[in-house]
Amino acid sequence: MAETYSKDETDRRMQAAVAAAKQDFSGLRTGRASPHLLDTVNVEAYGQKMHISQLGTISTPEPRLLTLQVWDKSMVKHVDKAIRDSGLGLNPQVDGQLLRIPIPPLNEERRKELVKHAHKSAEAGRISIRNIRRDGMELLKKLEKDHKISQDDQHKHGEELQKLTDVRIKEVDDALAAKEKEIMQV
């Protein structure tokens, strides 16, 4: 198989890194209810780990309340325990097959902790994007060394790759700024 450079493939990989960083941000609690708060919660159900959304319907009837309608009555205790043990600081109230999950307001210390976590997620996203750029640059150098592309093409593609990298890193930075603003909003 002959190796070739594909700008589209590189961009697809960078977009996936941006999406992963944004997904991490969505799981950070901001004091407002969001179904994404429970994205990281997995439940031991039917002999395997299952994502909480596979066991019930999550909704936000109020700004500071999540509800989770569990489909299988026998799973209610397992779902309740998984949410309590998730480290999110949430305490569901069970009402039959409905779990009401009040979202407590965040204190200043917890907000700063969440901002630090958001910065770590953003940095992980930026590192992924830079690694993809490095892989692309190494491939371009190899193709040029093997005389499969010209030095001018290698330089042109390298500049394109850098521009693409800058755009994707800016996306991560913009998402981080928005999340930081959301977290710090009282």
Domains in the chain: boundaries: 7-25+107-184, 32-102
pLDDT (tens digit, 9 = 90+) per residue, 77-94?
A: 999 998 888 777 788 999
Answering whether pTM is above 0.75, one says no
* CA-based max dimension of the chain: 70
- CATH no., domain 7-25+107-184: 1.10.132.20
Q: Across residues 22-30, what is the average pLDDT?
A: 75
Q: Across residues 34-38, what is the average pLDDT?
A: 77
Q: By the 8 A CB rule, do 177 and 23 touch?
A: no
Q: By the 8 A CB rule, do 93 and 99 touch?
A: yes
Domain 32-102 has CATH 3.30.1360.40: yes
Q: Tell me which residue of 123, 126, 117, 90 sits closest to 179, measured CA to CA.
A: 117
Least confident of 25-29, 113-117, 177-181, 182-186: 25-29
- The DSSP call for residue 89 is -
Residue 69 CB partners (closer than 8 Å, separation 6+): 56, 57, 59, 97, 98
> Bigger pLDDT: 74 or 32?
74
